[in-house]
């Protein structure tokens, strides 16, 4: 990590969350609190819809959980941001009433790690042009969902189901998560235009 000090500013450069500056940390704290509270309520919605419509509801609504990790790492393009934001948001999520219990710690960790790893494929950068950026965001969403599905599959014993059932579920989840990745990029772009997101280094 390189630190450049001036008369009024300190600029930190690095590719991990450890090199974040003060404004970036403030932004992460805001996402941690906001996402945790919202996901707590969303977990209740998902629980009810799963009871009514079965596992199909998971593939559609589950993408909103990984949305927050992607928004975090799109905003602050450093490895570990997604993992940190998602994991530390867990107490807020549980306090807000997420019905899935303490396993949320595990799910959030890997959903955040999935965002870090998926965006890391592109070296935490978007290409020039909106179409290319949306494509990258969509791929990040799909890869993130597949990583998350592996964790769900192991913890919930989903892989005991027929192979075709898992393949359909994984493909559907990845397809839907392309939208969530693009949606995260859209929200990031909006926040960037109003200067809510910390400026890039």
- Neighbour count for residue 135 (Cβ, 10 Å): 17
Would you state the pLDDT for residue 3? 45
Would you state the pLDDT for residue 61? 80
Would you state the pLDDT for residue 4? 45
137 contacts: CB under 8 Å, gap ≥ 6: 70, 74, 126, 181, 182, 184, 185
Measured distance between the N- and C-terminal CA atoms of the chain, rounded to whole angstroms = 13
Gyration radius of the chain's alpha carbons? 17
Would you state the pLDDT for residue 13? 57
pTM over 0.75: yes
> Could you state, in order of their start, the residue ranges of all structural domains in the chain?
23-193
Q: What letter would DSSP give residue 97?
A: T
Residues of the chain with pLDDT under 50: 1-12
**In Å, what is the CA distance from 39 to each residue of 44, 86, 98, 133, 143?**
9, 10, 7, 26, 21
- What pLDDT, in 10s, does the model give residues 46-104? 888 877 877 667 777 888 999 999 999 999 999 999 999 999 999 999 999 888 889 99
Give the separation between CA 108 and CA 35, rounded to whole angstroms.
11
């Amino acid at each position: 990590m390189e630190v450049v000090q001036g008369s009024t500013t300190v600029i930190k450069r690095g590719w991990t969350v450890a090199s974040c500056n003060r404004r970036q940390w403030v932004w992460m704290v805001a996402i941690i609190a906001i996402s945790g509270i919202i996901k707590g309520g969303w977990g209740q919605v998902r629980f009810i819809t799963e009871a009514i419509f079965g596992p199909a509801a998971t593939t559609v609504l589950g993408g909103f959980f990984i949305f927050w990790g992607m928004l975090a790492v799109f905003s602050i393009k450093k490895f570990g941001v997604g993992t940190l934001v998602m994991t530390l948001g867990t107490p807020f999520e549980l306090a807000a009433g997420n019905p899935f219990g303490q396993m949320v710690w595990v799910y959030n960790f890997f959903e955040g790690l999935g965002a870090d790893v998926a965006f890391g494929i592109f070296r935490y950068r978007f290409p020039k042009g909106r179409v290319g950026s949306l494509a990258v965001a969509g791929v990040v969403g799909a890869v993130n969902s597949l990583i998350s599905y592996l964790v769900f599959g192991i913890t919930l014993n989903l892989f005991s189901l027929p192979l075709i059932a898992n393949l359909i579920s994984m493909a559907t989840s990845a397809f839907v998560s392309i939208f969530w990745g693009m949606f995260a990029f859209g929200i990031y772009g909006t926040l960037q235009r109003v200067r809510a997101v910390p400026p890039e280094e």
